[in-house]
Amino acid sequence: MTDLDQLTQSLARNLKHWRAERNFTLDALAARSGVSRGMIIQIEQARTNPSVGTTVKLADALGISITTLLDYEHGPRVRIVPEGEAVRMWSTGAGSHTSLLIGAESPAPLELWDWRVEPGDESASDPHPSGTVELLRVTSGVLTLVVDGEEHTVPAGTSAAFEADVRHTYRNDGTETVTMTMVVAVPPVASATSATPVRRDAVHRAGDGC
C-alpha cells in the first residue's frame, strides 16, 4: 500500500469516527462544511482522495485539526514526527510549498506549518472561523502579508500575529525565497456543536493557502 493509499484509508476511517462523535448525519455535515453528501460518502468509503481544500472544510465543520482528521490514532505523551513524515499541502511549479509539520487537539486544534514562497508566488486564503489566530516568523526573504486588503512588510527575523477571520495573502514580491514557520490556532472544538457552520475555506492550490 502506498503512502497515498494509507492516507486515503486513514481519512475514511477518521471522518466516519468524528462524524459519529459529533452525531452529524451525512446531510448535516454536508450543510456545515459545504462539501456535497456524495463526496463525503466517497471519502468515507475510501474511493477518492479529496483536495486539501475539501479536507480543510471537513475538519473545520467537525471542529478538529487537519492533523487529527488525517490521523486519529493518538500516540504517546511525546510525539516525534520525522521530517519525511510532514504532509505537503500546497505547492506550485516554481517550487513554493507548505508542509503541515505537526498538530495537536487540546485544548483546541493547533497546527505547525513550514512555508516556502518563491519570488513572484503568492498563496491566498478565504477567512477562517472567527477566533482563528495565525502566528508566523520569517526566516529568510521579505514576506508581503496582506490582511483584509492591508499590506504589511515582514522581513527575515521578524514575527507577526493576526486574527485570520478575514481574507489574507502571503506574497513574495522580492528576489529572494521567503521561508517561514507558522502556527495556526483554531477555535475550541465546542464551536462545532453550535448552529452556525464553521469553515476554514483554505483551498491549497496555486494561489490559495492557510
Residue 61, domain CATH: 1.10.260.40
**Is 76 inside a domain boundary?**
no
Among 70, 104, 125, identify where a domain stops. Answer: 70
Bridge partners (DSSP) of residue 111 are 103, 184
24, 94, 130, 168 from 175: Cα distances, Å: 48, 13, 34, 22
| Domain CATH code at residue 128 | 2.60.120.10
- Per the structure, the count of domains in the chain is 2
**Residue 144's pLDDT is what?**
98
Nearest to 8 by CA among 48, 37, 39, 41: 48
Query: What percentage of the chain reaches a pLDDT higher than 70?
Result: 83
**Residue 44's pLDDT is what?**
93
Strand order from edge to edge, sheet including 142-147: 150-155, 142-147, 168-171, 122-125, 207-208
Cell numbers standing for residue 197: 457552520
Bridge partners (DSSP) of residue 91 are 97
Element (H, E) at 144: strand 142-147
Contacts of 41 (CB under 8 A, 6+ apart): 26
Sign of CA dihedral 174, 140, 123, 51: positive
User: Residue 198 pLDDT > 50, yes or no?
Assistant: no
* Angstrom distance (rounded) from CA 68 to CA 124: 24
pLDDT band of 189, cuts 50, 70, 90: low
pLDDT band of 200, cuts 50, 70, 90: very low
Rounded to two decimals, the pTM is: 0.63
User: Residue 162 pLDDT > 70, yes or no?
Assistant: yes
**Is 56 inside a domain boundary?**
yes
Q: Which of 30-44, 60-74, 101-115 has the highest mean pLDDT?
A: 30-44
Residue 42's domain comprises 3-70
Q: Convert the pLDDT of each residue in 19-48 to its tens digit.
A: 998 999 999 999 999 999 999 999 999 888
Q: Convert the pLDDT of each residue in 174-184 to its tens digit.
A: 999 999 999 99
